[in-house]
Amino acid sequence: MKYWLMKSEPDCYSIDDLKKDGVEHWDGTRNYQVRNMMRDDMKVGDLALLYHSNAGKETGVVGVMKVHSIAYPDPTQFDPKSDHPDPKSDPENPRWLCVDMKYRATLPRLVSLQEIKLDPQFSTMPLVKKGNRLSVFPINKSHFDRIIAVAKK
C-alpha cells in the first residue's frame, strides 16, 4: 500500500463534499508528473490525506480518502463547459487521467501547514520542500501516521 497527499481548494471540492458524495472522481489534474503517478503508482486501496490548499486560515490536512479505482481518462478534458477543458486532448489518446476517491474520515481537527513546517518529523515531506507545487504526491507511511496522530491531539 502507498500513501498520498492530495490537494484541493475547499471552495472547489472539500472534505465535506467528498463525505456527502461518498465516492468521486479526482479530476482536473493538468500536470504530466501527477498524471504519470496516478497511472503508474496509484493502486486501489491506497490511502491519501486531503489537504485544503489556498484556504486562508483553513489551509492544512483535513481528512482521509481511499483510492477507489485505477486511473482512467478524465472526462473534464473533453467538456468545454468544465473548469478544466483541454481542446488539444485526443479522445483516442487522452492526455489526462483521473482516479475515483472514496471518503474515509474527517480528521478531528485540521493539521495546519504551519504545524507541519514546525514539526521536525516532517522535514523530508514533499509538502514542506521549496518549489513543490504538485497537487498529488506520495508520502511516507510515517508522515501519514504522524498527521493522524497530530490531528487527535
* Domains in the chain with CATH codes: 3-151 (3.10.590.10)
- Phi/psi for 11 (5° steps) reads -80, -10
Contact between residue 107 and residue 151 where contact means Cβ atoms under 8 Å apart: yes
State the Cα–Cα distance between residues 135 and 153, nearest whole angstrom. Answer: 26
Reading the chain (153 residues) residue by residue, the pLDDT tens digits are 999 999 999 988 999 999 999 999 999 999 999 999 999 999 999 999 999 998 666 789 999 999 999 999 999 999 999 998 999 999 999 999 999 999 999 999 999 999 999 999 999 998 888 877 789 999 999 999 999 999 998
69 is written with which cell numbers?
Answer: 479505482
92 is written with which cell numbers?
Answer: 483516442
What pLDDT is recorded for position 134?
85
What pLDDT is recorded for position 133?
79
Question: Which is nearest to 126 in space by CA: 27, 1, 2, 4?
Answer: 4
* Cut 0.85: pTM above it: yes
What pLDDT is recorded for position 58?
74
Number of other CB atoms surrounding residue 109 within 10 Å: 13
